[in-house]
Amino acid sequence: MVNTNTETSKLADREIISLRTLSFPRELVFKAWTEPERLARWWGPKDFRNTFEEFDLRPGGNWRFVMHGPNGDDYPNHCVFVEIVKPELLVFNHISPVHFFQVTASFEEVSTDKTKVIFRMMFESAEECDKSRPYIIKGNEENFDRLETELARVA
């Protein structure tokens, strides 16, 4: 017999969940995640910039970009889209440079002008998750702050 509590615990050890309720309609929030010109303006922690090299929004499509850190360092990234359900769900695998993890972003309509974004990152191991957790939690909050600024700009 499988102990589902143990299995659930093992998954939780590999996952980081960030969420925020935004005062914007779900359709607008989803577009900010799926239109590359908008996404490039807000993606990443505070003071980072992005150069998008490829953004093929379809299952199996590539998203290649470079995050430019405030210290001048460049961080190349490669993701592959897994599932897109407009305007509810976006799933992609982050396959480089160092850590593999899967991102599941879900967009729940709270009301016509409020959207709850649930941002899940599932790592291959608890060890990889633990190494990433200290900077990812802060970075995800800064990412949400930048998303809110972008949404206010276009609303």
Look at 3 and 132; give whichever has higher pLDDT.
132
Give backbone dihedrals phi and psi of 59, rounded to 5 degrees, phi first. Answer: -55, 130
Residue 5 lies in a domain: no
Q: DSSP string spanning 87-122?
A: TTEEEEEEEESS--EEEEEEEEEEETTEEEEEEEEE
Could you tell me the CATH number of the domain that includes residue 49? Answer: 3.30.530.20
Residue 4 lies in a domain: no
Residue 9 lies in a domain: no
Residue 45 lies in a domain: yes
* Reported confidence tier of residue 6, pLDDT bands at 50, 70, 90: very low
Give backbone dihedrals phi and psi of 36, rounded to 5 degrees, phi first. Answer: -55, -35
Rounded Cα distance between 7 and 85, Å, is: 27
Q: DSSP string spanning 11-47?
A: HHTTEEEEEEEESS-HHHHHHHHH-HHHHHHH-SSTT
**Residue 129 belongs to what domain range?**
16-154
Residue 86 pLDDT greater than 50, yes or no: yes
pLDDT digits (tens, 9 = 90+) for 44-84: 999 999 999 999 999 999 999 999 999 999 999 999 999 99
Residue 1 lies in a domain: no
Residue 10 lies in a domain: no
pTM (2 decimals)?
A: 0.90
Buried/exposed 6-36: b ≥16 CB within 10 Å, e otherwise: eeeeeeeebbbebebebebbbebbbbbbbeb
Residue 37 pLDDT greater than 80, yes or no: yes
Task: Please list the residues that pair with 96 across neighbouring strands.
Answer: 78
Report whether the peptide linkage leading into residue 97 is cis, meaning its omega lies within 30 degrees of zero: yes
**Structural domains counted in the chain:** 1
pLDDT at site 96? 79
pLDDT digits (tens, 9 = 90+) for 46-57: 999 999 999 999
pLDDT at site 39? 97
Residue 8 pLDDT greater than 50, yes or no: no
